[in-house]
């Protein structure tokens, strides 16, 4: 598995405005450093206990993105350094991130994860939950977070039309709430969608951030 070569091939297929989160969960620090050496500076992890030592040992200009289901009691571990939490799926979690970020005098970027897939085990807000919270201005008081966009995972299926429909629906929703509720929020620009097996479809449907693991690092050992 040639990480540098894999990264080069993927970057060739990404338009300029689409950024790449290299999903490095379960992979060793030395493998991350290969990617770092090739210019990759955004890494995604889905366990706080795994992200912390990687943050401590690796170069400080890495942007650490949390992409997994986050338990409220783990936020304090990553609050001192995490750049973006891409997988926020409840108001309670947002409030807790806000509190922990405040303790460190920081602002943490968050993406609201939307449930767009058919699988019930995937996490996320429903579209109507987000509209309700926006109408209630529930996010306004959270001074230590910056809502920078939305994240979604499509259904794991070979049916390309279904994947496309889910991504395109998320893009439409993103555009709608940006216009109606978030016109004054200049940070709300990120639409994180697309993984190893569906990122090309996601890019066609308006993704600004793809999250790719297997296609860069291979199957985890």
Ligand X SMILES: *Cc1c(COP(=O)(O)O)cnc(C)c1O
Q: Which is nearer to ligand X, 94 or 152 (CB)?
A: 152
The helix (run of H) or strand (run of E) holding residue 151 is strand 145-152
Quick check: 214 binds ligand X (CB under 6 A)? yes
**Rounded to the nearest whole angstrom, what is the least distance from the CB of residue 199 to ligand X in the complex?**
8
Quick check: 211 binds ligand X (CB under 6 A)? yes
SS3 of residue 190 by DSSP: strand
Quick check: 23 binds ligand X (CB under 6 A)? yes
Interface residue with ligand X among 85, 195, 201, 203 (CB under 6 A) is 195
Quick check: 196 binds ligand X (CB under 6 A)? yes
Quick check: 152 binds ligand X (CB under 6 A)? no
With contacts defined by CB under 6 A, name the span among 34-42, 134-142, 173-181, 205-213 that binds ligand X.
205-213
H helix runs in the chain, sequence order: 3-13, 29-37, 48-57, 75-78, 91-103, 127-135, 160-180, 199-204, 214-217
SS3 of residue 58 by DSSP: coil
In terms of Cα–Cα distance, which of 104, 78, 90, 87 is closest to 139?
90
**Rounded to the nearest whole angstrom, what is the least distance from the CB of residue 175 to ligand X in the complex?**
22
**Rounded to the nearest whole angstrom, what is the least distance from the CB of residue 88 to ligand X in the complex?**
12
Interface residue with ligand X among 6, 24, 40, 46 (CB under 6 A) is 46
With contacts defined by CB under 6 A, name the span among 28-36, 54-62, 124-132, 195-203 that binds ligand X.
195-203
Quick check: 67 binds ligand X (CB under 6 A)? yes
Packing angle of the helix pair 29-37, 3-13 (nearest 10 deg) = 50
Distance CA 92, CA 107 (A): 17
Distance CA 111, CA 115 (A): 13
> What residues make contact with ligand X under the rule CB under 6 A?
23, 25, 46, 67-68, 153, 195-197, 211-215
């Amino acid at each position: 598995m040639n990480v540098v070569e894999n990264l080069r091939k993927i970057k060739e297929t990404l338009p300029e405005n689409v950024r790449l989160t290299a999903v490095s969960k379960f992979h060793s620090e030395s493998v991350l450093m290969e990617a770092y050496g090739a210019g990759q500076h955004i890494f995604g992890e889905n366990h706080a206990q795994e992200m912390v030592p990687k943050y401590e040992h690796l170069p400080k200009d890495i942007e650490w993105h949390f992409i997994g289901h986050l338990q409220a009691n783990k936020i304090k571990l990553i609050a001192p350094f995490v750049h973006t939490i891409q997988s926020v799926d409840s108001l309670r979690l947002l409030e807790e991130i806000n509190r922990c970020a405040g303790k460190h005098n920081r602002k943490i970027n968050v993406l609201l994860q939307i449930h767009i897939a058919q699988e019930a085990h995937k996490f996320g807000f429903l579209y109507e939950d987000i509209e309700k919270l926006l109408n209630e201005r529930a996010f306004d008081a959270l001074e230590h977070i910056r809502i920078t966009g939305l994240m979604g995972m499509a259904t794991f299926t070979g049916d390309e039309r279904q994947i496309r429909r889910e991504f395109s629906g998320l893009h439409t929703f993103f555009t709608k709430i940006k216009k109606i509720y978030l016109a004054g929020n200049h940070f709300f620009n990120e639409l994180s969608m697309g993984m190893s097996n569906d990122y090309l479809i996601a890019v066609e449907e308006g993704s600004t951030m793809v999250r790719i693991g297997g296609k860069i690092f291979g199957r985890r050992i």
